[in-house]
Amino acid sequence: MAVADETRAGTGVGAAADVVLADRTVGTPKNDMVTVTPPSARNEPAKPASPSWFIAKVNPVARIIGALLLCIPMFVSLDVVSASVALGLEVILLWIGGVNPLRVCRSTWPVWIAAAGGFISVLLYGRTSGAILWSAGWIVVSEGSVYLACATFLRVLAIAVPGVVLALGLDPTDLADGLVQILHFSPRFVYGGLAGMRMFTLLQDDWRALGLSRRSRGLGDGNAIRRAFSQAFGLLVLSIRRATKLATAMEARGFGGTGPRSAARVSRLNPIDAVFCVICLLIPLVALGVAVHAGYWHFAFQGV
């Protein structure tokens, strides 16, 4: 009787499944419809894109363009006045934008270390000019080397500090969308690089998993150098397999095709992006203008 009940129950379930399948096949298609909201009508919550309220509203592509407009003119100048003016304007504008100087220093501490290293190198081994202040063997500290060291220190800060602050909170997905839709880069190249960068964060987990797997098989107690090379080869094989699967998935989704593609997230330039680029261009122009007017401007690729 129990067997019969189970059989009857199973038959009932099967029949119910057939009814549901028939209903899905023959019935109205409203249960199988998926409603998709157009990208222009979506209202997604804003993500924290920058510590500055102003920079957070700027398109990632405009950030890249603004950083280039801000940094490239400063490469041709090597003097204390232009670098000081540019750095001062950058700190003031970032402060107005919501990033106080203390936050700037905390976020850019590697830049300060690099600038200090450049200061010491130029101070001790820079071009000698003017009165010699101190010397010991190959080390000669002169008035010219002190000036160049200060100019180098300020120049590194004026170029690198705004670049680091602009990169804080930058979403790689938004940047990829902007490169494809605004600058018309190849979607296959951009989104492939984005996927690779996303998977780069998995290397640490893969390395740990490979190490645990080898130790469970008794292969992790030998020479540390040989174990590292062997495990690195295994990680390379795993990465190649994952890249192959990723390439196949991208091909299945039409990447690399000749037809037009739609965008799930619309990226466009707004008037605030133009204002941002103009500000980034005015900072080095004002700094170089002040240095030229004061008579301190010096071409960076010319001897002292």
Nearest to 166 by CA among 111, 119, 117: 111
Residues 88 and 232 in one domain: no
> Within 13 Å of residue 93, how many CA atoms lie on the same side as its CB?
18
- Examine residue 21 and state whether it is found in any structural domain, yes or no: no
Please provide the average confidence, as pLDDT, over all residues in the chain: 82
Owning domain of residue 189: 184-252
- Examine residue 116 and state whether it is found in any structural domain, yes or no: yes
Name residues whose C-beta falls within 8 Å of residue 219's C-beta, 6 or more positions apart in sequence.
227, 230
pLDDT score of 160: 94
Q: pTM for the whole thing?
A: 0.74
Percent of the chain with pLDDT over 90: 38
Angle between helices 271-294 and 60-75 (to 10 degrees): 10
The answer to which of 48-62, 224-238, 247-261 has the lowest mean pLDDT is 247-261
- What tokens appear for 277 in the block? 């680029």
Task: Please identify which residue in the block is written with the tokens 């037809």.
Answer: 259
- Examine residue 218 and state whether it is found in any structural domain, yes or no: yes
Residues 139 and 117 in one domain: yes
Number of domains in the chain: 2
pLDDT above 70: residue 48: no
Q: For residue range 110-165, what is the model confidence (pLDDT) as tens digits?
A: 999 999 999 999 988 888 887 888 888 788 888 888 999 999 999 999 999 999 99
pLDDT above 80: residue 26: no
- Examine residue 202 and state whether it is found in any structural domain, yes or no: yes
Q: For residue range 203-218, what is the model confidence (pLDDT) as tens digits?
A: 888 888 888 888 887 7
Residues 156 and 188 in one domain: no
Segment 263-289 shows an average pLDDT of 93
- Examine residue 257 and state whether it is found in any structural domain, yes or no: no
- Examine residue 303 and state whether it is found in any structural domain, yes or no: no
DSSP annotation of 52 reads S
H/E run at residue 120:
helix 109-125
Residues 205 and 284 in one domain: no
**pLDDT band for position 9 (cuts 50, 70, 90):** very low
Residues 192 and 248 in one domain: yes
Amino acid sitting at position 140 = V
